[in-house]
Structure 1
Amino acid sequence: MRKKVAAFAGLAVAGLVLAGCAGGSGGDSSASGGQNQVEVFTWWASGSEKIGLDALVKVFGEQYPDVEFINAAVAGGAGTNAKATLASRLEAGDPPDSFQAHAGAELTDYVEAGQLQDLTSFYSDNKLTDVFPASLIKQLTLDGKIYSVPSNIHRANVTWVNTAVLKKAGIDPTAGPATLDAWISDLQKLKDSGVESPLALGTQWTQVQLFENVLLADLGAKGYTGLWDGSTKWDDSSVTDAINDYATLLGFTNSDYSGLEWDAATQILIDGNAGYNVMGDWAEAAFQQAGWKYGNEYTTWATPGTDGTFDFLADSFTLPVGAKDEQPAKDWLTTVSSVDGQEAFNLAKGSIPARTDVDTSAFGAYQQTALKSFATDTIVSSLAHGAAAKLSWSADIGSAVGQFATDKNVATFQTALVAAADKALG
């Protein structure tokens, strides 16, 4: 096991440099229509995400050497392009054998359309409920059934900090501000010190992620969670306050944010042209590539106002209805859920394993903070990354966020959010 850890750690390091979100010895794939192959659809087409996929595929090849892996990746941050391509394939009755999706409510649309197979028995057969934490099983369950197998756990309420930029402005980088108001005060200090864009930001989905962080900070875990079941109303004054705080934060960002992918926004921070970037922990790879050491050149906090919560998302894999190579697809899911698969993948990607029995001693300093937080903090579901709301609802919120980036009209934004909730919740 220790040799495997060392090998996977080496692969992870190599992947970070290039990067600049129980198996058997071989499966019986005779049920696949005579083809020992599996077509897997993801949006991990480049950078650290591709390196993570490659690490997982390597383990799959070792566990199932007679099954050919067909990579059907489609490039695009947070899966925007991939989801559109996938929708077309599913509508045409041409599903891949397995496809990547965010665990949680994002799967609702696929389930309601009858496009996913129930994997509850797969969990029982592989004893996954014994090795996945109960909090994760709860997040994965829809109407008493489970439809995906997570490869990892990511955290979305992470603020990445350039320590040198903060120190130069007289701000202590070792501990995050307790509230959004205190953070806004520090952002103003940075701006006054000559940092033109203290908070680095990117394209629309990264804006949605920042907005969900603000909602979580202003509403708290209970109020934020209530947005998704209707117990917190979108026309509540606390949501208005969150929109105003979000608007204030936008005033500290780079003006070209709408045209930047997440990695370009993170690079602004690395280049010293920003003090902060709110991003999921797939960003860890960028700092490692830069040769930075956690606690020296950079550090992280829970986004101000969200300490004590873990904004959850998980990359997961499904078994579509009509998969042409069903047994090889199950072989793939077995590798995804295996100890070796989760260890290799997460060492490369910067996330943490879904399984609780993976040896995490070789994981980095940031990942150790995420492991501790997930074990002890209140878990909430990410909006931007599919855990909180079904695809159609997320799309409506994303459109409203995009429009707000243009017009900054608080009343119009909140009206659009109310309409999106009414449509989704009936």
Structure 2
Amino acid sequence: MRVTRRTTAAVATATALVMTLAACGGASSGEAEPSLRTHTDVGVYTWWAAGVEKTGLDVLAEVFERQHPDIEFVNDGVTGGGGSAAKDHLQSRLENQDPPDTFLVHAGAELEDYIRDGYVVDVSDLYKKYGLTDVFPEDLIDQLSTDDGKIYSVPSNIHRANVMWANPTVLEANGIDPSARYENIGAFIADLEKLDQAGVTPLSIGTTWTQVHLLETVLLGTLGPQAYNGLWDGTTDWTSPEVTTALENFKTLMSYTNDNREDIDWPDATKMIIDGEAAFNIMGDWAVSAFDEADMTLGSDYVAVPAPGTAGSFDFLADSFTMTAGILDPESTEAWLDTVSSKEGQVAFNKIKGSIPARTDVDRSEFTEYQRMAIKSFEEDAIVSSLAHGAAVPVAQLDAVSQATLKFVGPDGHGDVPTFQSQLAAAAG
């Protein structure tokens, strides 16, 4: 049950009825008064309304109903639009005291505003209760924890952002190594130029958020994991020459992208790789679902490798669920978080979603070749936080970065690196 004006009124009416019955002698001293707790469902807010995301949510709900048959799963999210529109709608509900019981959020800094405004509660005790500190990697626990050691969400999965997808047939036809592995961005740019000269679209991309996604992988590939992390903790200066080089690399990469980028989103940019209309695309590993749907085989039909210069790093984001503050029955939300974090729930959900479980105690033979590669990388490589997907910075900073990126490389972009760099430095405060 969500705390809405309607439910609040209902509780008030019920309270008044109980008081009236007591005053009239309706309940004897030996009888229990009627309970106001009639909550038998959990309202779950996501923007997973189509494709593998909706299928994954349905599978997770099936696991929940097996594990907690006395509580009904209620899809309390939006039925259309992407994450950005859904977050605006969610914010309106939270501000109007109509919260869902639990809502989807990217783990990390994206949660800061919700924590500051008191919309979510600390769930650290559940990590102890469910033994999650023993089955989640220590690095992940660190990424999920606030400065005071509290945790405000439970991840259902782990996505990798720094993945480059390539069509090996297109590469080989143009004299380029079909393995698509690049130790540095300079070598990558050289091959983009070769493709461009051959009349092939070198690098496919979509609208602004996908460009910010590319920007973060270029920052990581140019700076390395330690200095990249320093952008978010203040130990790397946004005005440094190293960052200037990264932004110049980003500008160069954007010059090799498709002209219709502002009119498409990531699925169409990925489809350009599938259809052989472009050679490379840099996107998170949710893109693997598009290759699976096209019945393509990893290695022969498409390549998935770390983005140029980022081998040895795992650029992390996680779809996580909160416990909303002010709900009438936190026990039902706790039950949902139990399922989300359980081995059964994580295996079932991630086999659909294409991501990997946050838990380390799963049987990796149940997963695809790509997922096994990602699990190995998550175990061995340096974990860094995604900029474009809310792990590295709070919402306000990401919005400022997105606006600066649009002004830099958008349809009317100024293309001036020093201006772009100063705007990014200002966004970081």
Give TM-score scaled by structure 1 length. Answer: 0.89
Aligned partners of 1:144, 1:382: CA distance in 2, in Å? 20
Residue 369 of structure 1 is matched in structure 2 by: 373
Aligned partners of 1:258, 1:32: CA distance in 2, in Å? 52
Partner residue of 1:387 out of 391, 395, 404:
391
Residues 1:192 and 2:197 are matched in the alignment: yes
| 1:117 Cα offset (Å) | 0.6
Stretches of structure 2 lacking an aligned partner (at least 5 in a row): 1-33
Aligned partners of 1:387, 1:44: CA distance in 2, in Å? 19
Residue 153 of structure 1 is matched in structure 2 by: 158
In 2, are the aligned partners of 1:198 and 1:273 still within 8 Å (CA)? no
In 2, are the aligned partners of 1:31 and 1:326 still within 8 Å (CA)? no
Partner residue of 2:244 out of 236, 240, 244:
240
| 1:233 Cα offset (Å) | 1.1
Partner residue of 2:233 out of 226, 229, 235:
229
Q: Give the aligned residue type for 1:415.
A: S
Partner residue of 1:420 out of 415, 419, 427:
427
Residue 213 of structure 2 is matched in structure 1 by: 209
Secondary structure in structure 2 of the residue aligned to 1:311: strand
Stretches of structure 1 lacking an aligned partner (at least 5 in a row): 1-29
Residues 1:140 and 2:144 are matched in the alignment: yes
| 1:73 Cα offset (Å) | 2.9
Larger gyration radius, structure 1 or structure 2: 2
Residue 5 of structure 1 is matched in structure 2 by: none
Residue 169 of structure 1 is matched in structure 2 by: 174
Q: Give the aligned residue type for 2:221.
A: A
Q: Give the aligned residue type for 1:283.
A: A
Q: Could you list the per-position Cα deviations for residues 90-143 of structure 1 after superposition, in whole angstroms to 9, with x for gaps in the alignment?
A: 111111100000111111111111111100111111111111111111110012
Residue 302 of structure 2 is matched in structure 1 by: 298
Q: Could you list the per-position Cα deviations for residues 229-282 of structure 1 after superposition, in whole angstroms to 9, with x for gaps in the alignment?
A: 111111111111111111111111111112212111111111111111101001
Q: Which runs of 4+ in 1 moved over 3 A?
A: 30-33
In 1, are the aligned partners of 2:232 and 2:392 still within 8 Å (CA)? yes
Residues 1:267 and 2:274 are matched in the alignment: no
Secondary structure in structure 1 of the residue aligned to 2:278: coil
Q: Percent identity?
A: 52
Residue 333 of structure 1 is matched in structure 2 by: 337
In 2, are the aligned partners of 1:98 and 1:319 still within 8 Å (CA)? yes
**Alpha carbons of structure 1 residues 135 and 32: separation in structure 2 relative to 1, 3 Å:** farther
In 1, are the aligned partners of 2:180 and 2:303 still within 8 Å (CA)? no
Secondary structure in structure 2 of the residue aligned to 1:361: helix
Q: Could you list the per-position Cα deviations for residues 148-198 of structure 1 after superposition, in whole angstroms to 9, with x for gaps in the alignment?
A: 000011100000111111111111112412110100111111112221x21
Residue 48 of structure 1 is matched in structure 2 by: 52
**Alpha carbons of structure 1 residues 248 and 358: separation in structure 2 relative to 1, 3 Å:** same
Residues 1:33 and 2:43 are matched in the alignment: no
Aligned partners of 1:199, 1:401: CA distance in 2, in Å? 18
| 1:66 Cα offset (Å) | 2.5
Aligned partners of 1:268, 1:370: CA distance in 2, in Å? 23
| 1:325 Cα offset (Å) | 3.6
Q: Could you list the per-position Cα deviations for residues 276-305 of structure 1 after superposition, in whole angstroms to 9, with x for gaps in the alignment?
A: 110100111100000100111001111011
Residues 1:411 and 2:398 are matched in the alignment: no
In 1, are the aligned partners of 2:159 and 2:285 still within 8 Å (CA)? yes
**Alpha carbons of structure 1 residues 31 and 302: separation in structure 2 relative to 1, 3 Å:** farther
Counterparts of 1:72-87 in structure 2, within 5 Å, are 72-74=76-78, 75-77=80-82, 79-87=83-91
Q: Give the aligned residue type for 1:170.
A: G
| 1:412 Cα offset (Å) | 1.9
Q: Which structure is richer in relative contact order (CA contacts within 8 A, separation 6 or more)?
A: 1
Residue 187 of structure 2 is matched in structure 1 by: 182
| 1:32 Cα offset (Å) | 8.8
Q: Give the aligned residue type for 2:371.
A: Q
Q: Could you list the per-position Cα deviations for residues 351-381 of structure 1 after superposition, in whole angstroms to 9, with x for gaps in the alignment?
A: 1100111112121111111011111111110
